[in-house]
Structure 1
Amino acid sequence: MVSLKSHSGIYTLKTEQELPIDLKTAWDFFSSPNNLEKITPKHMGFEITSGQAKSMYPGQIITYKVSPFPGIKSNWVTEITHVNHLNSFVDEQRFGPYAMWHHEHIFETSLNGVRMIDKVSYKLPFGILGRMVHPFLVKGKLMKIFTHRYKILEKMFPAKQ
């Protein structure tokens, strides 16, 4: 499930997915920056350039290169600001394409394994111009990225028969 809401130029994208895995397996996979490339569309040219330590910690800085549009390579720097082991973590953009990026990753035990919730609050640069291009350039791109992740995760962690 993917939903997108807006309030005063701040957009919030929320996704939920149930995976048939235990909480530790989910945490180990999603708290490792090295696995982000596996669930990001290949055409985005996602590459971690530094900071992919073995275990996540508050204050960790991770740098990436990403190509949001063909031929355009962008540097992105995020900081892990909160870690609640086995429950949640937050990454926030320190430098990159957004005026603001706050991404909460939440993990809850469910009847069938783990419910994974992503809540991304973001703001575009350039004020009203950013808000004008959002429906055409950004909204669809983000929805496709999270839909892609959903499909990849279903394949990586298939339901038990």
Structure 2
Amino acid sequence: MAAIHRLERTQLIPISLEKAWDFFSRPHNLEQITPAYMRFHITSPPVAHMYAGEVITYVIHPLLGIPLRWMTEITHVQEGRYFVDEQKKGPYALWHHQHHFEQVPGGVKMTDIVHYQLPLGLLGTLAEKLFVARQLEDIFAFRRKAITQLFGSLQE
């Protein structure tokens, strides 16, 4: 059985909790904070408010321009505090992504916690070591820069 990996990133953003929640709880805003080479495109219609049970479909091109269809479900929502998306169909054997928001002096502390597991046993383990872990690091590094460009940064 392939290992379950954990990625955690925290960012301090000089905006209100309400503004942070409004931006990050709208899946269509993901396109702004995802690297262009991924050609990330949400195919499901936008909804007014995120809710548990919401299904989001999209297409990404993570490797060699090959399109992958991905479906996630918002499984937990506590308005203004956190939400969780879980892959239902896509490239991972397991994808569980927690998004946490906490009001701090001068802004918001945003924490992403991702647990993921690749399919294909030994081949998946090799892929994780060769490129998946690095690609996820790059995506979250890009996301950090994009969020800083959009909203600014607090000293961490």
TM-score interval (norm. to shorter): over 0.9
8 A Cα contact 1:78 1:93, kept in partner: yes
Please state how far the C-alpha of 1:122 moved relative to its aligned partner.
Answer: 0.4
- Which residue among 95, 98, 101 is the counterpart of 2:95? 101
Q: Secondary structure at the residue paired with 1:36?
A: helix
Q: Give a deviation string over 1:39-96, Cα, whole Å, max 9, x none.
A: 0001100000014212100000000000001220000000000000000000000000
**Percent identity between the aligned chains?**
48
8 A Cα contact 1:93 1:100, kept in partner: yes
Q: 2:28 aligned with 1:34, yes or no?
A: yes
Following superposition, which runs of at least 4 residues in structure 1 exceed 3 angstroms of deviation?
none
TM-score by length of 2: 0.95
The 5 A counterparts of 1:62-141 are 62-141=56-135
Greater RCO (CA < 8 Å, at least 6 residues apart):
2
Q: 2:51 aligned with 1:61, yes or no?
A: no
Please state how far the C-alpha of 1:137 moved relative to its aligned partner.
Answer: 1.5
8 A Cα contact 1:98 1:124, kept in partner: yes
8 A Cα contact 1:51 1:60, kept in partner: no
- Which residue among 139, 147, 155 is the counterpart of 1:145? 139
Gaps spanning 5+ residues in structure 1: where? 1-7
- CA RMSD after TM alignment: 1.2
Aligned mates of 1:109, 1:24 — CA distance in 2: 9
TM-score by length of 1: 0.92
Count of equivalent residues: 153
Aligned mates of 2:91, 2:32 — CA distance in 1: 21
Q: Secondary structure at the residue paired with 1:106?
A: strand
- Which residue among 4, 9, 20 is the counterpart of 2:3? 9
In structure 2, relative to structure 1, the CA distance for the partners of 1:51 and 1:100 (3 Å cut) is farther
Gaps spanning 5+ residues in structure 2: where? none
